[in-house]
Structure 1
Amino acid sequence: MGAFPAWSACRRRFSPDDAFFNAGNVERELQAKQVSLNISEEERAYIGRIEDEDCWLVNCSIAGCGAQLRGVEELENHHLIRHTAVCSVCSSCFPTKRLLSLHISETHDSFFKAKVARNHPMYECLVEGCPGVFFSDKSRKQHLVDKHKFPSSFHFHKSTKNHPSQKQRQRFKAKSYMDSAPKPEEAAMSVDVDELSSAISKLTTAAESDHVPQSISFGRKRGGLVTRHSRHPRN
C-alpha cells in the first residue's frame, strides 16, 4: 500500500486587487456606510464645531475695543479697518493710510485751510490713482458720485458734533478739576482736631484768669446803691 498523502501548510501571497478579497471589501464598505448613518446629532454638531472655524469667537486684543469676531480672517479685517489708520486727534477710523492722511490735512491742518481760503484746489479725489483735485469738498463729492458711482449719501468727513475740540476738552478738564477741589466751606470744616482742642483750652484758661477789679461792685443794698470810688491816683 502506498503512503497516505499528507498536507503541509504553505504561504501564499495575494495582490490587493486579487479576487480573494472581494467578499471582504464588500463587507467593509457596508459597515462603513452603516457607521456613518449611526452618528448621533450631538456627534454631528461637535464635528461641525471643529470643522467650522467661524463658530469660534475671537476677542479683539486692543485695549478699549472689546469687539467679538468670528474667525481669524474676520479679526484681521477688523484690525485693518479699525486699528490701522486711526486719527490721533478725533479717533476717526479709515480703511487706508492715504485716506487718513487726507482727513488729517483737510480737518486738522491750518495751512490746508489757508490755501483753500485763497482759492487753491486742495481737495484730492478719494479714489487712489485718480488725478482729480477740487476747490471744495462739495465739488469733490459730486465728482465721486458722477464718475466713480459713489452713493449720493456718502460723506467723507464725519460730523464733529460728537468729537469735542481741543478747547472744549481743556475746559472739561478744568471743570472736572474745580469740581474735585474742596470748597472753602468744606476746607474750613476740615480743621485739625488737635488745633481746635488747643484753641478751646487757651480760651478756657484766659477766662479763668480774668477778675473784676475791687473798685467795681455789683448789687444793691437795702438802703440804696452800693458804690465804691477808686482812689485818685497820686500825682
Structure 2
Amino acid sequence: MEQIRELPGGKCIRKYSPEHPLFDAGTHLWAAKYYQVPGSMVQLEEAASDEMKQSPDITCRLANCNINFQSVAAYEEHYDMLHRNICRECSRSFLSLRLLDIHISETHDAFFKILSKKKPMYVCLVDGCPE
C-alpha cells in the first residue's frame, strides 16, 4: 500500500508499507544475513578464516614498531593502545585522551607545578567524573 502526501511547492512524500515490492531485494539480503540456516554460519566463518590465512600480514611501521598482525582488527587495537594518545614531550602512550591531558598537566605544565606547591591538586582518573 502506498500513501502520497503533497507538500507546498509541488513536492510529495510517499510512504510504502514494509511489504511493498520495492523493499524485496533488501528484505532478502537482511533475511540471508540474520536468518542463516544452522551450520551455514560455520561455513561462513571457515571461509573467512581461509581468507585470513591467505591474506598478507599487516605490519605496524609507526615509531619503529615493526609488529605483524593477522587482521585489521588486531592492528587497530594495537594502534589505539600504543599510538593514538602519545605525549609529545616524553613519548609515553596513554589509553585515553583524558589520561594524556592529566599527564601533561601533572608532568609538563609549569603552572600546575606552582599551584600544586600551594595547595593539593588532584583530578579523578575515571572518565566522566567531574572531580
The structure with the larger Rg is 1
- The code of the aligned residue for 1:124 comes to V
Give the percent of matched residue pairs that are identical in Structure 1 and Structure 2: 40
Aligned to 1:131: 130
Aligned to 1:107: 107
- Decide whether the 8 Å contact of 1:57 with 1:70 is kept in 2: yes
CA separation in 1, counterparts of 2:117 and 2:69? 45
- Decide whether the 8 Å contact of 2:60 with 2:67 is kept in 1: yes
Cα deviation for residue 131 of structure 1 reads: 2.6
Aligned to 1:17: none
CA separation in 1, counterparts of 2:65 and 2:116? 36
CA separation in 1, counterparts of 2:86 and 2:104? 10
- Decide whether the 8 Å contact of 2:52 with 2:71 is kept in 1: no
Cα deviation for residue 88 of structure 1 reads: 1.1
TM-score by length of 1: 0.32
CA separation in 2, counterparts of 1:74 and 1:62? 15
Cα deviation for residue 61 of structure 1 reads: 2.8
Task: Give the unaligned 5+ runs of structure 1.
Answer: 1-46, 133-235
Aligned to 2:59: 59
| Helix, strand or coil at the partner of 1:123 | coil
- Decide whether the 8 Å contact of 1:56 with 1:71 is kept in 2: no
- Decide whether the 8 Å contact of 2:52 with 2:70 is kept in 1: no
Cα deviation code 1:197-229 (max 9, x no counterpart): xxxxxxxxxxxxxxxxxxxxxxxxxxxxxxxxx
Cα deviation code 1:45-83 (max 9, x no counterpart): xx7862446x85321031411122221001111111211
- Bigger proportion of residues as strand: 2
Task: Give the unaligned 5+ runs of structure 2.
Answer: 1-46
Superposed, 1:1-235 pairs within 5 Å as 50-52=50-52, 57-119=57-119, 121-132=120-131
Between 59-68 and 89-98, the greater mean CA deviation after superposition: 59-68
CA separation in 2, counterparts of 1:113 and 1:63? 30
Query: Superposition RMSD on alpha carbons, in Å?
Result: 2.5
- Decide whether the 8 Å contact of 1:60 with 1:75 is kept in 2: yes
Aligned to 1:160: none
| Helix, strand or coil at the partner of 1:68 | strand
CA separation in 1, counterparts of 2:74 and 2:48? 19
- Decide whether the 8 Å contact of 1:105 with 1:112 is kept in 2: yes
Cα deviation for residue 122 of structure 1 reads: 2.5
CA separation in 2, counterparts of 1:63 and 1:118? 39
TM-score by length of 2: 0.56
Aligned to 1:176: none
